[in-house]
Chains A and B, each alone.
Chain A
Amino acid sequence: MSYDPIDITLIGAKIALVFFVILTLAAYLVFAERKVLAWIQDRKGPNRVGPFGLLQPLADLIKLLTKEDFRPIGADKWLFYLAPAMAAIPAIMIFAVIPFGAPLTVFGHSVELQISDLNVGLLLFLALSSIAVYGVALGGWASNSKYALLGSIRGLAQLISYELSMGLSLVPVVMLARSFRLSDIVAAQSGCWFIVYQPLAFIIFLISIAAECKRIPFDLPEAEGELVAGFHTEYSGMRFGLFFVGEYINIIVLGGLAATFFLGGWHGPWLPPVIWFSGKVLAFAFLFIWMRGTLPRLRYDQLMHFGWKILTPLALVNILVTGWWLVLRG
């Protein structure tokens, strides 16, 4: 198979751009979260480093890099070092299939603003998010600490349970778009966003992704009131940083997916598509931060009950109803 050098360059440029944008965005999401939480609590938030505190992420990075790289006694060396990467890398890999803008034309080449238009893009997302579970599980297990172990057991159970309802809530989307390809799903929403047809699926998906990225009210794996910091209790320095950044990357990616599946992806009137897409992602990020500032944490049995006995059956019923509707409509 032969490759056009311009195509390869363009793909490389897209990967570099996406990588840079996502990492920067994740760092600033941490900052935004601290700011918004501060406003919610009538405080000012970080405002010392640089104008309005805008250089705070840089200061955090320097702090994390200069911290001691600590490994507890009895920890499983390889898995302990591997786990943070396993938490962060799948999250960023999912972005490869998300279309973040309408196709452009550069030097006579039509460039899709999407790294890889895989025909099973939606399944790739499910596969990678199920791999991300290993970061939580191995990180907690390898630390040789009871808090970390408890956190990762909780995390495992939670992520498996909510992955189910997340996957099931996406089935109606596939049924409507008749494709697993994310660009087809976006194209199918050029007229009407799927949230209009599938409000229930959207709500189930939203709740499930909140649980998937372990955000309040589903932050049981790292419940700081009970488990110190849960599965990453024993991590320090940049390894902790990887877990931390991975979580924010996850928010961005899952927000992007929610926008793609239900809010029409980059479709929107007047403004350029990329702006629409980033606006939707940031809206989801804000929603998560806002939820964190408001809601209390669920109890573990409530979490399991909610996932298995409410969300999953609802998603199944939703699939059934959508199927009937599609058949009746012909």
Chain B
Amino acid sequence: MKIFSDMTALMTGMWITWKHIFRRPVTIQYPEQRRQPYPRYRARIVLTRDPEGGERCVACQLCSAACPVDCISMQPAEGDGGRRYAEWFRINFARCIFCGLCAEACPTLAIQMTPDYEICTRDIMNLIYEKEDLLIDGCGKSADYNFYRHAGIAVTQPRGNGAEELPPVDVRGLMP
């Protein structure tokens, strides 16, 4: 009879919810108990430095282009020795969705996500982070990576001395 199977189904449902009334709640009481997020958790964004202490960011705009909500903006500039940097660099955390695409796009590993999720404030203007707020004095993840050691241009070392780099070929010396 269909009515009996239907009633059993209803009773099964009621029994399951009844059992759940006596389960221990899974709630974490936030301000008192905090949850330690995993290191790869995606929250507040930082700009890291290379092992020598220079800014990693080369203001290539790739993060800005990758950002789906367009919340990164910057002004590129060039320092001595042809080393590029961002004159100003701004992330609007009121718009950021913490997708991590900027960090994936960055060729120099400058922009990185950190597990610090407690950045909410009452004034929305406080969520606009400038370069001073973003730049940290460490290397973040991939501590020993230095973009210019691998790049083919002479900024931190003469050309041909970088890692995985062969000495430049003297085109005029290729006499038969």
Contact = CB atoms under 8 A, between A and B. Distances in A.
Interface in A34-73: 36, 38-44
A278 B14 CA distance: 23
B175 to A, nearest CB: 80
A294 B10 CA distance: 9
Nearest to B13: A294
A43 B25 contact: yes
B18 interface: yes
Contacts of B171: none
B174 interface: no
B20 interface: yes
11 contacts: A36-B21, A42-B25, A42-B26, A42-B27, A43-B27, A44-B25, A44-B27, A291-B14, A294-B13, A294-B14, A294-B16
Nearest to A48: B29
A290 B23 contact: no
A253 B144 CA distance: 72
Given A291-B14, A294-B14, A295-B13, 15 more contacts: A39-B20, A39-B23, A39-B25, A41-B20, A42-B20, A42-B24, A42-B25, A42-B26, A42-B27, A43-B25, A43-B26, A44-B27, A44-B29, A290-B18, A294-B17
Nearest to A35: B21
A293 interface: yes
A289 B25 CA distance: 18
A293 B17 contact: yes
Contacts of A291: 14
**Chain A contact surface mostly:** helix
B147 to A, nearest CB: 47
Interface string A281-297: 00000000011011100
Contacts of A43: 25-27
Nearest to A296: B13
B127 to A, nearest CB: 26
Contacts of B20: 39-42
Interface of A: 36, 38-44, 290-291, 293-295
B25 A290 contact: no
Contacts of A290: 14, 17-18
Nearest to A293: B17
Contacts of A44: 25, 27, 29
A209 B119 CA distance: 49
Nearest to A292: B17
Of the listed residues B10, B13, B21, B26, the one surrounded by the most CB atoms of chain A closer than 10 A to its CB is: B21
Nearest to A291: B14
Interface string B23-36: 11111010000000
A273 to B, nearest CB: 29
B23 A42 contact: yes
A22 to B, nearest CB: 26
A197 B27 CA distance: 46
A42 B27 CA distance: 8
A129 to B, nearest CB: 26
Nearest to B28: A44
A310 B16 CA distance: 27
A187 to B, nearest CB: 33
A43 B23 CA distance: 9
A38 B23 CA distance: 11
Q: Lowest 7 CB-CB distances: which A-B pairs, in order?
A: A44-B27, A294-B17, A39-B21, A44-B25, A40-B17, A294-B13, A293-B17
A166 B95 CA distance: 54
Nearest to B12: A294
A282 to B, nearest CB: 15
